[in-house]
Amino acid sequence: MMELNYLGSVYPTRAVITTMKERRMGRIMFVSSQAGQIGLFGYTAYSPSKFALRGLAEALQMEIKPYNIYVTVAFPPDTDTPLLAEENKSKPLETKLISETSGVWQPDQVAKILVKDVVQGNFNSSVGPDGYMLSALTCGMSPVTSITEGLQQIVTMGLFRTIALFYLGSFDSIVRRCMIQREQSKAADKRE
């Protein structure tokens, strides 16, 4: 996962960054995931590789901003693609139930938002209300594109954290219920 998701972004960036610096302009987009903002059941290999892109993007943005080069890190939600359909065939029940809370987006909707954010030079690119909330909650020391963006993050942080606690409680409940069901099923199988 690290080779594909992290190094698969590092190497092409290294290949183009010198030319961008010489031209004193450019845009770089890393495609992370909402699972790169919150660790989720069933994604213990995937999530860290997508979290790593955020760190890469933050450090790189600081280094290349003086050259008029901007980095966007995209955090798309589940998107209706053949890859998602394939993933859903083997996804653990807990992961399916947690994923359902956010819904599935169409590729053209996601692409329009991501391209718009890159063109505008936004550091974060998120999709939908859940994506907006996650980006605000996980902004940390991320660069902001405008004072308005920073103020929105400050104003919404408390409310979003409260909402997030309900989500996390729901996710924990899903994981517990699935574990109990699995254990009951195993116990019933042993009795037979």
**Alpha helix (H) ranges present in the chain?**
8-23, 46-64, 82-90, 93-99, 107-120, 128-137, 147-191
Residues of the chain with pLDDT > 90, as a percent, come to 92
pLDDT tens digits for 29-76? 999 999 999 999 999 999 999 999 999 999 999 999 999 999 999 999
The span from the CA of 85 to the CA of 80, in Å, is 7
Domain range list for the chain:
2-191
- Tell me the catalytic residues: 32, 46, 50
The span from the CA of 149 to the CA of 55, in Å, is 20
Decide if domain 2-191 falls under CATH 1.20.120.
Answer: no
The pTM (predicted TM-score) of the whole model is 0.89
